[in-house]
Structure 1
Amino acid sequence: MPIITVRYATSHEVRPEDVASAASAASTSFLRKRADLTAVIAEPVDQSRWFIAGKSLAEHALASFWLEIRIVEGTSTKEERERFITGIFEAMGQLLGPLHHESYVHVHEVRADAYGFGGRTQERRFIEARPLPAVPGAD
């Protein structure tokens, strides 16, 4: 149930749904997240409003993106997060065109008791899904 926000700037037309699809696919492939519980906000930004080292992306003649994903702490490994960051950078490069190296990915790992959807925390879902342990001699 990750929530992903992607801001991106490029010189050519890219559909937000294509950016959202790439982000969702990467979270499924690399972080083992369920696609049916993944929400994505894809926000295009004009290249003239995105600055790196005092120059706009239009002046750099490069694309860029900034992606944040929130997942429950402990549900992915360091290796999975590294593959996600590498994979999403590659996917965005294919979609947006040549990327400025100052394109960012931030994986937020949040506590299960401080994160949820549908009015319930992830910790509550975990507790409710666990079977009660058998008590010896309680039959």
Structure 2
Amino acid sequence: MPYLRVRIASSDQKRVTTTQVAKMLTDLAVTKLGKSASDAAVDVRFTDPDNWFIGGQPVSQNHATSFFIEIKITASTNSRTDKSAFVQAAFDGMSKLFSNISKTSYIVLHDVASDSWGYGGKTQEYRYITGDKEV
């Protein structure tokens, strides 16, 4: 049950759609982290590259694209290797979608305690204890 929030500063917004970004990240959550595609939520937002700064300079100055991806996953459900593979694949995936990706683009995985989040009114801890997989 991952939740992904994505911010992208790019002038390629007309060429790359939010749907393309969401699909790519959902696929990676499934293939790299073993998450359920049907429970993955992705929020994609484009930001004006004139308002995104790296080293005090707007990314638009170099016609670059930069991004910040954060994903919340249930703690202890993925190994360091899984997480590393996701980070690399997400960076590579964004690099395929957008031209001139800045290396100063971030991907953050948040491990959230199973008793501290859930969906459908039930925590992940409850689902684990009861074996409840109902959405």
Give the TM-score category using the shorter length: over 0.9
1:1-53 deviation digits (Å, cap 9, x = unpaired) = 10000111222222111111111111111001110100000001111110000
Task: Name the structure 1 match of 2:62.
Answer: 60
SS at match of 1:68: strand
In structure 2, runs of 5+ residues without a counterpart are none
Work out the percentage of aligned pairs sharing the same amino acid.
32
SS at match of 1:106: strand
Q: Distance in 2 between matches of 1:125 and 1:84?
A: 25
Report the CA distance between 1:60 and its aligned residue: 2.2
Task: Name the structure 2 match of 1:120.
Answer: 122
Aligned alpha-carbon RMSD (Å): 1.0
Q: Distance in 1 between matches of 2:51 and 2:115?
A: 37
Of 88, 97, 100, the residue aligned with 1:98 is 100
Task: Name the structure 2 match of 1:41.
Answer: 43
Query: What is the TM-score when the length of structure 2 is the normalising length?
Result: 0.93
Task: Name the structure 2 match of 1:32.
Answer: 34
In structure 1, runs of 5+ residues without a counterpart are 131-139
Question: How many pairs does the alignment contain?
Answer: 130
Post-superposition, which runs of at least 4 consecutive aligned residues in structure 1 deviate over 2 A? none
* Max Rg structure: 1
Q: Distance in 2 between matches of 1:10 and 1:38?
A: 24
Q: One-letter code of the match for 2:4?
A: I
